[in-house]
Structure 1
Amino acid sequence: MAPRSMIAGAFLGALALTAPVTAQVVEQVSSDSQAGVPLFTSETLQLTADALATLSQNQSTLFQFGNSSTLSARTVGGCKVFPGDFWWPSSLVWTLFDKVLGGALIKTVPLAASCYSSWPEYDADTCATITDDWTNSNLHAADSASVMWPLFEGRTCLPTTNASAACTVGGYSSYAVNVTNVAQIQLAVNFARNAGLRLVVKNTGHDFSGKSTGAGALGIWTHHLKEIDYIANYKTSSYQGPAVKMGAGVQAFEIYEKANELGFSVVGGEGKTVGVAGGYVLGGGHSPLSSIYGLAADQVLAMEVVLANGRFVTVTEESDPDLFWAIRGGGGGTFGIVTSVISRVHPKVGVTVSTFSFSTGADVSADTFWAGVRAYMERFPAHADAGTYAYFWILNTGTDSFVFLMNPFFAVNHTLAEYNALVQPWYDELSDLGISITPNSNYYDNFYDGWSAGFPLETVAASVMLTGSRLFPRENFVNETLFNTTFDTLRSTISDGYAILAFNLKAELVDGYPDNAANPAFRNTLMHAITSTSWDSDATNAEILDTMDYFTNTILGKWRATCPDSGAYMSESDIQEPNFQQAFYGSNYARLYKLKQLYDPSSLFYAPTAVGSENWVVNSQDGLPDQNGRLCRA
């Protein structure tokens, strides 16, 4: 028999009419925090027992906090409640939910619905604008449900010139809460848990595996939690110095602007629209500053978090060492919803930014080209140890035809003269090989200007592409036998028609920084390399799956064979990565899984390849590894 609370939920709409809700259910509490820094105003607006008491008993049923006896999963036949099910909340219940949220509930309309005559939003001009902007990451970051890789939503509503085609909500969340305060997160968490709904968390939607989307889900959209506070002297048991508190919605361009204004540097992503204080930092987060300061997760000193039971807690090294360890690097949308982080910051730093290219041609054979690339890879240890970060491409442009693009070499703490001295041995070797380059190198006296000049706005939203990656360890570049194997493997990958986008960096845990759950493979890496596969736009689902499987098992399989004990960066990876537990979490997985059962025993927080995700399966409608289907226990 269904739990009494579920029965109450199913008929709550009728009961709600007798006691209408006229205002958001929220209470303003003290700004004091165990973190030692005042809560943001958005964090002082919380769901409390007194706030819940303003509702009738029937109305409050779906919004009650969880405890040891009520935190069990509400499922129907082992699956999360899905649109069309008997237990799916009625429109009146959704109306009630919107009212207690203060009008923050958004019913999802796919971004490209304006291209389809079956939707009320159909408008040719709007469709044209959406189509033109489709690959712009800002477009998707500013939408409550859209993700930057529609393959993982299920490709159910892409821009089109065929207005009579079908467009459905598909794998996008059915509703989303536009969060502006903690109470709204707590209400959403409690509602999803008590009603048996799938729950997803979206900041910008950058994740390469679509972790922030899911059919029939309630989404929690943290994008507008933009507060930033600078703390001149922050103290913990292991740190004393400047720090910054960032709301979960703060993006790279925003925190970099603030850091430049106030004269400090902060470890954040290279992508302009990446949500620094969201899934990026929780998944580890490599950065143009990583070769000096480590990962973004290493910088975190404290967090404010809503747990699966709906409670708002402060997590520090002192207050909860296990959760403090797990959230920093153990993955977003896994243990709770972070509303803000306090991170250490660093002195203002100058940077030299250099771009250049070389390619095969009349005077440069394929073997000569690869000798030039090899000369670069041989210098990975020296360049990373000098604190630099390089972002480069190697592309196949035809039979025995290749191009190398440095986009850019980002030499932190290097003047132009120091940068030139560092790379001169490579430049000399290129010259000896007959390879001509014309570097465009410029020095900036601050990180922000160099980063703005060096890294373009991300191009996203390809629906005919799958990416995969590997963290290649230092041993692969200092051991001659391993280096030869690694180099030959990468050359073979590109010769077979697959591009490589890669980063030369290191991300060691700095002495004195507390340990965290970031992938141990990051600590030894000297190259984070990404490649991709693609298919024709009219390919069948079976053909797409065959292409994906070949890519995962054969192409990336060769990469894994060069460093089987290493792994991959979970946020920029192949969703089909075999043994993801080892690849993304390494030796940390057993401890992370145990903590997942402690803090979220019902797996309210689910995301593909996240800790504990092996206990669930998405029955996707197209048979591809996307989120367009019911979420059910495995």
Structure 2
Amino acid sequence: MPGSPSLSLWSSVFLAITLAQAQNITWTTGAPTTQDWKTLNSTVAGRLYAGVPWAEPCFSLYNGNNTRPDAAQCSFVQQNYFNNHMVRTSVFAGYGPQNFEACMATSDQCMLNWMNPTDPAAFTPPQDCKQGSIPDYYIDVRQASDVSTAFQFVAAKKIPLVIKNSGHDFQGRASGPGSLALWVHNLKSITNNANFIPEGCSYTAGKTALTVGAGSQFQDIYQYAHDNKLIFVGGSDQSVTATGGWGQGGGHSSLSRLYGMGVDNALQYKVVTPDGVLRTANACQNQDLFWALRGGGGSTFGVVLEGTMQVYPDQSFQIANIIFPIGNLTITRGILSIFTDNATLLATQKWGGYLTPTNGELVLLNPTLSTKDAQNSVDALSKYAISVGGKATLETVPSFLTWFQGWVQGTYGTQDPIGLPQALASRIVPQANHATPESRAQLVDALMDAVNSSFFQQIHFATPYGYNATSASDTSVNPIWRSSLYQIITVNTWQYNDNLATKKATYANTTQSVATLRSITPTSGAYANEADIHEPDWQTSFWGSNYPKLLSIKNKYDPNHLLDCWHCVGWTSATDPRYKCYI
């Protein structure tokens, strides 16, 4: 579908008219009727759709009713079902962590066998394609009035509202049984401004910035930035968007050492708050909302339609690609030992990247060192990898996009897979835990516990350690990010037909996988975007000392909690029916 124009191009008159039209609708209180849905569809210009599970064309039963399989459409789904990042995010019912398409607690689901999507045992009778956690309906959002209308509708009808962007959400916040969803995927504008001054500010000089629609994904943003000889600070998955979960949750990046997190680069947001008002949030107006949006989490304070972020001149990078044998715990421990011994120096020298024990890979990129200095910097890791039968290369690439395309294509490391159930946990690891040989040895033991207790592990060497161009107090992310060197994520999975007991055990194992790390980092936390759904003391873990202020802002802009999601600011109860599918 074509992208929407930037909000900055919309006339104020048009916005005033559309918002007024939305506000003039009166919805009767009570459960929505068929006529209510028809009226809602008319109000949003025919862009209300049923939320049909992606794999439904393969089934002969859908929610207990006979249906006719569509062989051609089923074949397309099967070909792209597992680990196709861009295709899966281009359909409303596609989610990166596949378990949030399902109702995990009841096994109501519409899943193929992710290990073999053509396996007929998953979709032929008596298998029934159930709705699971896919929202019943969704609005394909193209303008602010769509959001205002939705807020009014759910307030009157008392049904859950969720926001879905790319579906790369490990907390399940973009789905929910019996809900109405706002799908912002098609807000895909990207514009460049060499002298951006936030609206309402009296600065005499602006900053080079890109303004991106809420649905703009890193694959397109990076290409656009490259074409304009710029670097955009973003994440490591081409299908993720710059606003929403990644952008509002903090946004760690392989560039964070030099340029900070995503929220450090945010200059302005256009956001519809739950009162239906389109607001501009920046350093000069709605400052409290701007602060909350810079780390307080997505799906919480409003629906962001576009964001403007500072960008930087493109440049060359040193790329260290270190490969070591997998399946040998002694070698894995050796790599982790050398890595932890050198992590502080590597971070100080502005290296960023990803260490994936599961795949036997460490890929690092550096924007500041010469080739000789870069080689010396990673020498210990390189020599060890080679000594145990691995290999190590160092090369200069001319641009950030060159590295990122190699990352996506598998020549510079391997991305983590999507399109499978994922029980995920994480921990942010402070620099203080690297201070002495004894603390580093303790840390290696904890990291090995994580390796031994999980199907997949990855260290995101991507914190803003050493970055100080933005004051930490200007953002609402957990302050622990500033004094930490990396985070580790651990993942466990299950098969499409596993029972509830297996799923519970899988989550329990994942929680346990970072238990030792939690115990030796008691003042640290976890990343709100990539965390255990059973994260203990999640308010402090995700936001630290910032949580009370965030809660106050939540109550100001969303006093009726029209936006509510699992372990988001202001969330209070797992007994709400909208969370019945969590385990």
- TM-score category (smaller protein): 0.7 to 0.9
Deviates more, 1:43-52 or 1:466-475: 43-52
Counterpart for residue 26 of structure 1? none
Tell me by how many angstroms 1:510 deviates.
2.4
Does the CA-based 8 Å contact 1:248-1:275 persist in structure 2? yes
Seen in structure 2, the aligned counterparts of structure 1 residues 542 and 368 have a Cα distance that, compared at 3 Å, is: closer
Tell me by how many angstroms 1:368 deviates.
5.8
5 Å matches for 1:184-195?
184-195=146-157
Q: Report SS of the residue matched to 1:157.
A: coil
Counterpart for residue 117 of structure 2? none
Does the CA-based 8 Å contact 1:178-1:221 persist in structure 2? yes
Seen in structure 2, the aligned counterparts of structure 1 residues 539 and 159 have a Cα distance that, compared at 3 Å, is: closer
Query: Could you tell me which of 373, 377, 391 is aligned with 2:336?
Result: 373
Structure 2 letter corresponding to 1:614: T
Does the CA-based 8 Å contact 1:42-1:180 persist in structure 2? no
Counterpart for residue 17 of structure 1? none
Seen in structure 2, the aligned counterparts of structure 1 residues 550 and 267 have a Cα distance that, compared at 3 Å, is: same
Question: 2:538 aligned with 1:577, yes or no?
Answer: no
Deviates more, 1:475-484 or 1:329-338: 475-484
Does the CA-based 8 Å contact 2:253-2:463 persist in structure 1? no
5 Å matches for 1:405-554?
405-406=361-362, 408-428=363-383, 434-456=387-409, 459-463=417-421, 465-496=422-453, 498-508=455-465, 510-513=468-471, 515-552=474-511, 554=512
Seen in structure 2, the aligned counterparts of structure 1 residues 217 and 484 have a Cα distance that, compared at 3 Å, is: same
Tell me by how many angstroms 1:491 deviates.
1.9
Following the alignment from structure 1 to structure 2, what is the Cα–Cα distance between the partners of residues 299 and 496?
A: 36
Counterpart for residue 5 of structure 1? none
5 Å matches for 1:612-627?
612-615=570-573, 617-619=575-577, 625=582
Does the CA-based 8 Å contact 1:47-1:186 persist in structure 2? no
Does the CA-based 8 Å contact 1:104-1:177 persist in structure 2? yes
Tell me by how many angstroms 1:252 deviates.
0.4
Counterpart for residue 79 of structure 2? 132
Following the alignment from structure 1 to structure 2, what is the Cα–Cα distance between the partners of residues 360 and 230?
A: 44
| Residues 212-250 of structure 1, C-alpha deviations (whole Å, 9 max, x = no match) | 111111111111111111111123568732111111111
Structure 1 letter corresponding to 2:355: F
Counterpart for residue 320 of structure 1? 286
Tell me by how many angstroms 1:358 deviates.
1.7
| Residues 294-320 of structure 1, C-alpha deviations (whole Å, 9 max, x = no match) | 110111111111000111111111212
Following the alignment from structure 2 to structure 1, what is the Cα–Cα distance between the partners of residues 133 and 271?
A: 26
Query: Could you tell me which of 519, 540, 561 is aligned with 1:603?
Result: 561
Query: What's the RMSD between the two structures over aligned residues?
Result: 2.7
Question: 2:223 aligned with 1:266, yes or no?
Answer: no
Tell me by how many angstroms 1:394 deviates.
1.2
Counterpart for residue 356 of structure 2? 393
Q: Report SS of the residue matched to 1:453.
A: helix
Following the alignment from structure 1 to structure 2, what is the Cα–Cα distance between the partners of residues 100 and 145?
A: 23
Does the CA-based 8 Å contact 2:449-2:513 persist in structure 1? no
Tell me by how many angstroms 1:590 deviates.
1.1
Seen in structure 2, the aligned counterparts of structure 1 residues 128 and 44 have a Cα distance that, compared at 3 Å, is: farther
Structure 2: stretches of 5+ with no match in the other structure:
104-108, 114-119, 410-414
Query: Could you tell me which of 235, 254, 273 is aligned with 2:197?
Result: 235
Identity %: 25
Structure 1 letter corresponding to 2:561: S
Question: 2:50 aligned with 1:107, yes or no?
Answer: yes
Seen in structure 2, the aligned counterparts of structure 1 residues 47 and 575 have a Cα distance that, compared at 3 Å, is: farther
Tell me by how many angstroms 1:121 deviates.
5.6
Does the CA-based 8 Å contact 2:337-2:441 persist in structure 1? no
Seen in structure 2, the aligned counterparts of structure 1 residues 255 and 291 have a Cα distance that, compared at 3 Å, is: same
Following the alignment from structure 2 to structure 1, what is the Cα–Cα distance between the partners of residues 168 and 332?
A: 34
Does the CA-based 8 Å contact 1:176-1:221 persist in structure 2? yes
Seen in structure 2, the aligned counterparts of structure 1 residues 373 and 555 have a Cα distance that, compared at 3 Å, is: closer
Structure 1 letter corresponding to 2:57: S
TM-score normalised per structure 1: 0.81
| Residues 68-98 of structure 1, C-alpha deviations (whole Å, 9 max, x = no match) | xxxxxx8xxxxxxxxxxxx321112211111
Question: 2:112 aligned with 1:159, yes or no?
Answer: yes
5 Å matches for 1:208-223?
208-223=170-185
Q: Report SS of the residue matched to 1:439.
A: strand
Following the alignment from structure 1 to structure 2, what is the Cα–Cα distance between the partners of residues 42 and 455?
A: 39
Does the CA-based 8 Å contact 1:146-1:172 persist in structure 2? no
Deviates more, 1:486-495 or 1:268-277: 486-495
Does the CA-based 8 Å contact 1:443-1:450 persist in structure 2? no
> In terms of Rg, which structure is larger?
1
Query: Could you tell me which of 351, 357, 360 is aligned with 1:404?
Result: 360
| Residues 169-226 of structure 1, C-alpha deviations (whole Å, 9 max, x = no match) | 2211111111111121221222222222210001110011121111111111111111
Question: 2:178 aligned with 1:225, yes or no?
Answer: no
| Residues 500-558 of structure 1, C-alpha deviations (whole Å, 9 max, x = no match) | 21122331452344611112221122121011223454432123213322431x32221
Does the CA-based 8 Å contact 2:333-2:444 persist in structure 1? no
TM-score normalised per structure 2: 0.88
Counterpart for residue 400 of structure 1? none
Does the CA-based 8 Å contact 1:264-1:347 persist in structure 2? yes
Q: Report SS of the residue matched to 2:360.
A: strand
Query: Could you tell me which of 209, 223, 229 is aligned with 1:257?
Result: 223
Deviates more, 1:449-458 or 1:284-293: 449-458
Seen in structure 2, the aligned counterparts of structure 1 residues 426 and 326 have a Cα distance that, compared at 3 Å, is: same
Counterpart for residue 116 of structure 2? none
Query: Could you tell me which of 573, 589, 597 is aligned with 2:547?
Result: 589
Tell me by how many angstroms 1:389 deviates.
0.9
Structure 2 letter corresponding to 1:46: L
Query: Could you tell me which of 27, 35, 48 is aligned with 1:62?
Result: 27
Does the CA-based 8 Å contact 1:576-1:625 persist in structure 2? no
Structure 2 letter corresponding to 1:531: T
| Residues 570-614 of structure 1, C-alpha deviations (whole Å, 9 max, x = no match) | 111111111111111111111111111111011101111111112
Deviates more, 1:267-276 or 1:188-197: 188-197
Does the CA-based 8 Å contact 1:233-1:241 persist in structure 2? yes
Structure 2 letter corresponding to 1:62: W
Counterpart for residue 8 of structure 2? 39
Following the alignment from structure 2 to structure 1, what is the Cα–Cα distance between the partners of residues 16 and 148?
A: 6
Tell me by how many angstroms 1:492 deviates.
3.1
Query: Could you tell me which of 282, 299, 308 is aligned with 2:274?
Result: 308
Does the CA-based 8 Å contact 1:567-1:583 persist in structure 2? yes
Following the alignment from structure 2 to structure 1, what is the Cα–Cα distance between the partners of residues 7 and 418?
A: 37
5 Å matches for 1:272-287?
272-287=238-253
Seen in structure 2, the aligned counterparts of structure 1 residues 313 and 380 have a Cα distance that, compared at 3 Å, is: same
Seen in structure 2, the aligned counterparts of structure 1 residues 234 and 481 have a Cα distance that, compared at 3 Å, is: same
Aligned pair count? 549
Deviates more, 1:345-354 or 1:232-241: 232-241
Query: Could you tell me which of 231, 237, 245 is aligned with 2:211?
Result: 245
Does the CA-based 8 Å contact 1:42-1:182 persist in structure 2? no
